[in-house]
Structure 1
Amino acid sequence: MQFIYPMLLEQADKPFSDGRYVFEPKIDGHRLILSRKNGVTRLYTRHNNDVTDKYPELITDGPDIVLDGELAVMDPDTGIPDFELTMKRFQSKRSQLPISYVVFDVLRYEDSDLRCLPLLERKAVLDQAITDTPTMSKIAYIDGRGEDLWDAIVARDMEGIVAKKKDGRYHADKRTDDFVKIINYCYADVNISGWRKGDFGWLAHVDGRTVGVIELGVPPTHKQAFFSVAKPLITGEDRDFIYVQPLIKARVKFRNWTKSGMLRSPVFANFILSA
């Protein structure tokens, strides 16, 4: 069976419209490569982990093919991809949560490697290669009007959008501006209540409790500024963390609040200066 490392996405800070691109909703799940050869189907994560046994619903007959898409579980009330439900299905051997495999690219079809073709030609092959079912479907896209799609995505509180050049080729395991993601981040103001002793991370504190660890987006100058004033604020430590009075404030951007009230993937934006 053939595994192809998926193409990665560059990131832009804000939505845009451009006639050279098509725009797709960003599905909040996990990347999944489907590879079928001689009637045998295998499923892989983006890191080449075989997860075929986790999703027997996707083992079907059909032509030799390699597909790239996102595996998600939809919120039953909103119909929107739910990352926590997706992870629950992924991590459990017993979960029967219904899955949706949203396919956005075809990399091989029968005896042909399609990665050198422009995106819209690959989309045309994909339209002919698979038929939408409740379990597997082709992603919808809009031509050129990224800001219109963005407004609809924000209104539904979805993850974001992906811009793809119409003539873009598929570059396995690389980032180029042929694929660009724009994330619909949430923002929160937090207090920093400590830091991790091992790999870098600040404890984020809101309303008297820890809501996550800030690992990403902190420039070296900001780390230096923090540690230059934080040591006099130390209140204690344990095996993993050193704790401080939560007097230093920061703004973070993050994907969403989890059902347990934690920040999902918080990224440092800036310090908040006291008045």
Structure 2
Amino acid sequence: MLFAPIKPMNVSIGKEAFDDENYIFEPKWDGWRILIHKQGNRVEAFTRNGMLISSKFPELKEAAAAIKAHTAIFDCEGIVLRGGRPVFDDFSYRGRLSNSARINRALNTHPVTFVVFDVLYTDRAHLDESLTQRKQRLGDIVDSTPVIMPTMFVGGQGKALFELMKERNMEGIVAKRKNSKYQLDTRSDDWLKMKYFKSIDVVILGYRTNPFGLVIGLNFRTVKNKPVGVVEFGFLSEDKQMFLVIVKQLNTVRDEKTQWIEPRLCCRIEYLERTDTHQLRTTIFRGFLPDKKPEECKWES
């Protein structure tokens, strides 16, 4: 188990925030899932898919000094904070670096924090202990520093934490049953994530008619008008009719699914999730933006 790839326990999707004294509630951090392994002075980091990435994060040596246990395996989220909140793209930037000089520069421009939310192993495995026991153990062996810290959590009060995370523009929360065991490579209803819908202005790149949907895009620093999803819900019949009349003069090429158009129209949508490649999931149409310039539809995070 130690210094070998481990597939962590996964969360299921919850419908909405709730209060329950049988649960603890944690912030949903926006970074990479990381498994940290330590024994003595040796410390290694693996991704959830088993990739060894220790060389990308020199901060691990400092993190190891804050771990009081001689031997440990932790389940963490690797994040980079900007303006007090984690920014996924900043941590992904660190994860892409392989040149040692660029990594050393990034220690100052994109400093990493490992947020620890579970302990799987010390001098023995703790998978069959309750979450409450593992949290106690975690608090006893990890000091909070700029590079590593136990995640905050509250007992019972999921709704209040959800609203606080929304105010701070975080992703949402995770609810975990207090008596839950740690089940490797398992998606369990004992852990539930609840995210809130976010609003964003997007460029319309094309459309589909069966069923009706808009292919939407965003501008990134290195890519213009990148497709980021399809929105099919939230349209009124008059929205569709008006769009199909206006768009005739903008049609370009057509493929099997999509009629592509000149990127000159914008709309506002809400979305629930975003993948690692910036694809937006669970999208809802909220209205056309006739005065919005397409180049203003940017991914800001």
TM over 0.5: yes
Counterpart residue type for residue 52 of structure 2: D
Across the two proteins, how many residue pairs are aligned to each other? 250
CA positional deviation for 1:38: 5.2
**Is this contact kept in 2: 1:190–1:252, CA < 8 A?**
no
Q: In the alignment, does 2:58 pair up with 1:56?
A: yes
Match of 2:34 among 11, 32, 35: 32
CA positional deviation for 1:92: 2.4
* More helix per residue: 2
Offset from partner CA, 1:114-149 (integer Å, 9 cap, x none):
111110001111112222221110011000000011
* Structure 2 counterparts to residues 104-123 of structure 1, below 5 A: 104-110=117-123, 112-123=124-135
SS class of match (1:73): strand
**Is this contact kept in 1: 2:252–2:262, CA < 8 A?**
no
* Structure 2 counterparts to residues 155-170 of structure 1, below 5 A: 155-170=167-182
CA positional deviation for 1:269: 3.6
Q: What CA RMSD, in Å, does the superposition of the two structures yield over aligned residues?
A: 3.6
Give ranges in structure 2 of 5+ residues lacking alignment.
234-239, 289-301
Q: Distance in 1 between matches of 2:9 and 2:41?
A: 25
Which contiguous aligned blocks of 4+ residues in structure 1 show a shift greater than 4 angstroms?
A: 188-192, 238-242, 244-252, 270-274
Residue of structure 2 equivalent to 1:243: 260
Q: In the alignment, does 2:80 pair up with 1:73?
A: yes
Match of 1:181 among 180, 193, 206: 193
Residue of structure 2 equivalent to 1:5: 7
Q: Distance in 1 between matches of 2:252 and 2:130?
A: 58
**Is this contact kept in 1: 2:20–2:158, CA < 8 A?**
yes
Offset from partner CA, 1:200-249 (integer Å, 9 cap, x none):
x9630589x8463216x979xxxxxx9xxx9x969333999751478998
CA positional deviation for 1:163: 0.4
Q: In the alignment, does 2:147 pair up with 1:135?
A: yes
**Is this contact kept in 2: 1:33–1:69, CA < 8 A?**
yes
Residue of structure 2 equivalent to 1:222: none
Q: Distance in 1 between matches of 2:15 and 2:284?
A: 15
Residue of structure 2 equivalent to 1:212: 227
Give ranges in structure 1 of 5+ residues lacking alignment.
220-225, 257-262
Q: In the alignment, does 2:271 pair up with 1:253?
A: yes
SS class of match (1:19): strand
SS class of match (2:134): helix
Q: Distance in 2 between matches of 1:272 and 1:81?
A: 27
SS class of match (2:21): coil
Counterpart residue type for residue 79 of structure 1: G
Query: TM-score, structure 2 length as denominator?
Result: 0.71
**Is this contact kept in 2: 1:12–1:180, CA < 8 A?**
yes
Residue of structure 1 equivalent to 2:162: 150
